[in-house]
Amino acid sequence: GAPGRAGSGDALIEIAIRPHPVYRREGDNLIMDLPVSVPDAVLGGKVRVPTLGSAVELSIQAAEGLGAAHRAGIVHRDVKPANFLLTGDGKLKVADLGMAKHQASSAVELTQTGVIMGTPAYMAPEQARALPAGKRADIFALGVIVYRALTGAPPFSGDTNVEILFRVSHAMPVRPSDLAKLPEAVDEVLAIALAKDPNDRFETAAKLSAALDAATRGRIDPALSAHARGVLAALPWGASGAPAR
């Protein structure tokens, strides 16, 4: 069935179940690990998240994994639920660096520039326009995952990839708290994570996870709240992005 809502106890985060390697950096070496078996609670490639707290905990783990990659100078560029693996002890690991780019060295860039690459529903606006994508593109994608995990609905959807990419670039989704029982502070955190301008997003995945953790308890830094209001003043929740006639 369709994903439910975190507020109603039926949110889903999709996790790929496959023998896929997980990469980590140790010094100058990139180490490949194979994930251990997933627990019995994982069925049909999906993890059922019964509470808002559980959804947030997995989202924070995803942010921590991305943060580790970013600190190693790696931009993933294809962040989506299927590229996180769940280990036997319930931990998420970032997987599939096939589109990754090392920010400090073109020698380890694995994909082309000037070409649209990624998964449309999780791509950042700059990726949709085939512009250079840094770590804040990954943070945008993480915002998409968190939005979907907490509301049960994708923020950007459409009948074709072109329609999805248009909405990613120009539209804002429905206010999260209109879809699930969420504090207003969560709306503001997601507004920043999903900002169209990379410079308006969280600087690091760690800052996103810290803000999200506090927001679920109804708390948000006043400066972040003001910043979110500024982002939403330019493009409010539910804005279609269609040109005026």
- pLDDT > 90? residue 107: no
Residue 226: its pLDDT value, please?
98
Cα 164 from Cα 170, distance rounded (Å): 10
**pLDDT tens digits, 181-211:** 999 999 999 999 999 999 999 999 889 999 9
Q: Which of 79, 83, 77, 103 is nearest to 95 (CA)?
A: 83
Average pLDDT value over all residues in the chain: 75
Give the contacts of 52 (CB within 8 A, at least 6 positions apart).
6, 7, 11, 150, 181, 182, 216
What is the rounded CA–CA span in Å between residue 24 and residue 33? 8
Q: Which two tokens stand for residue 34?
A: 């194979």
- The rounded distance, in Å, linking the Cα atoms of 171 and 193 is 14
Identified catalytic residue from 10, 28, 78, 96: 78
Look up 78 and say whether it is catalytic: yes
Which two structure tokens, joined as six digits, stand for 228?
Answer: 């979110």
Are the C-beta atoms of 194 and 147 separated by less than 8 Å?
yes
pTM, full prediction = 0.75
In this prediction, residue 54 carries a pLDDT of: 76
The tokens for 48 are 């059922």
pLDDT of residue 170: 95
Report the distance separating Cα 184 and Cα 124, nearest Å.
24
Between 149 and 163, the more confident residue is: 163
Hey, is 92 helix, strand or coil? strand
